[in-house]
Amino acid sequence: MQVAETVARARELFAASPRPLGFVPTMGALHAGHLALVRRARERCATVAASIFVNPLQFGPSEDLARYPRDPEHDRQKLEAAGVDAVFMPDGAAMYPDGFATTVDVGAIATVFEGAIRPGHFRGVATIIAKLLNVVRPDVLFLGQKDAQQAIVLRHMIADLNFSVETEIVPTVRESDGLALSSRNAYLDAQERAIAPTLHAALEAVGAALQAGRTKSDAVAAGSTALSPSATLEYLDVVDGTTFAPVERLDAPAFVIGAARFGKTRLIDNLWIP
Ligand code: AMP
């Protein structure tokens, strides 16, 4: 596996790669969810590229940038074992040199749900992905359904700015009790870990109630009672699968989305209803 640490080296490496080139951007601390994206890229693409970069621009001032888990040596081993051909691992100065000033603002979709709770988050995400797409120039971008709003925001950016890349959204990988794999699960203590799967249970309860013909407010009420009373619900809603606009009924593909706090740890999850 080749490793590029500078933009110049990455450009050189990826320009010479056999096509199609698949790309899996990550912030490291890799788990089986990330590796499912790599596996899907390996199935479809002649070359698989990944990146590891903990992007400061997508963390708010009170968020966990400093304590975000970092394990570059194991991450490299995992990517190599999963069949990644080349990984881009820039440092902060490579991506945000002195004088960096241009950001990508994705509009209203970035101001609801995660965007409302984490102002500026999607500007940071869209900016780093725009930069990475310009460096790597992939044919297919692989994104996790786990971060559904992020995937939809990025699809909008790619369409709006005429990036020439296809996106594929890969289903969420879960623990056997339903908890979606996430680097942030490492922050949960034993008690919080025990109740964390109730977020997934809440989403399933909403989905089941809607599919049984109940109104959205009934369905969301049923979902809220499935969440552990020790957790704090931030939102639970049903949104259109393309626009992320809230919907009342399942007339078109939709996501049931939810976010909750378990102690100090925020978890998000969603279900896709085709
Ligand atoms: P992150 O390192 O958190 O930025 O995640 C990198 C990519 O992995 C994103 O596209 C995520 O949506 C995806 N991802 C994270 N967790 C999972 C999971 N449990 N299942 C599938 N994809 C995931």
Tell me: the pLDDT tens digits for 71-82? 999 999 999 999
Take atom 18 of ligand 1 and give the residue whose Cα is closest: 33
Contact (CB, 8 A) for 114 and 122: yes
Digit-coded pLDDT (tens) for 212-245: 999 999 999 999 999 999 999 999 999 999 999 9
State the closest ligand 1 atom to the C-alpha of 143, by its place in the atom list counted from 1.
Answer: 10
Q: Which of 262, 263, 243, 261 is nearest to 253 (CA)?
A: 243
- Give the catalytic positions in this structure: 34
The beta strands (E) that lie in 107-248 are given as 140-144, 166-170, 232-240
What average pLDDT does this structure show over 205-214? 97
Take atom 22 of ligand 1 and give the residue whose Cα is closest: 144
What average pLDDT does this structure show over 44-70? 95
Q: Is 231 in the pocket of ligand 1 (CB under 6 A)?
A: no
DSSP 248: S
CA of 218 to the centre of ligand 1 (A): 31
Maximum C-alpha span of the chain:
56
Question: Within 10 Å of residue 211's Cβ, how many Cβ atoms?
Answer: 11
Q: In a mutational test of the pocket of ligand 1, which residue from 23, 24, 26, 268 has the highest number of ligand atoms less than 8 Å from its CB?
A: 26
Q: Is 48 in the pocket of ligand 1 (CB under 6 A)?
A: no
Amino acid 64: pLDDT: 79
Contact (CB, 8 A) for 261 and 231: yes
CA of 214 to the centre of ligand 1 (A): 32
Q: What mean pLDDT, rounded, does the chain reach?
A: 97
CA–CA separation, 110 vs 153, rounded Å? 7
Q: In a mutational test of the pocket of ligand 1, which residue from 59, 65, 146 has the highest number of ligand atoms less than 8 Å from its CB?
A: 146
Give me 196's structure tokens: 């964390």
CA of 213 to the centre of ligand 1 (A): 32
What is the CA angle 264-34-190, rounded to 5? Answer: 35
Give me 103's structure tokens: 């950001």
State the closest ligand 1 atom to the C-alpha of 180, by its place in the atom list counted from 1.
Answer: 19
State the closest ligand 1 atom to the C-alpha of 147, by its place in the atom list counted from 1.
Answer: 12
Q: CB-side exposure of 119: number of CA atoms within 13 Å?
A: 2
CA of 147 to the centre of ligand 1 (A): 7
CA of 77 to the centre of ligand 1 (A): 18
Q: Is 182 in the pocket of ligand 1 (CB under 6 A)?
A: yes
Amino acid 15: pLDDT: 97
State the closest ligand 1 atom to the C-alpha of 172, by its place in the atom list counted from 1.
Answer: 20
Digit-coded pLDDT (tens) for 124-182: 999 999 999 999 999 999 999 999 999 999 999 999 999 999 999 999 999 999 999 99
Amino acid 206: pLDDT: 98
pLDDT band at 11 (very low <50, low <70, confident <90, very high): very high
Contact (CB, 8 A) for 258 and 231: no
Q: Which of 51, 55, 20 is nearest to 34 (CA)?
A: 51
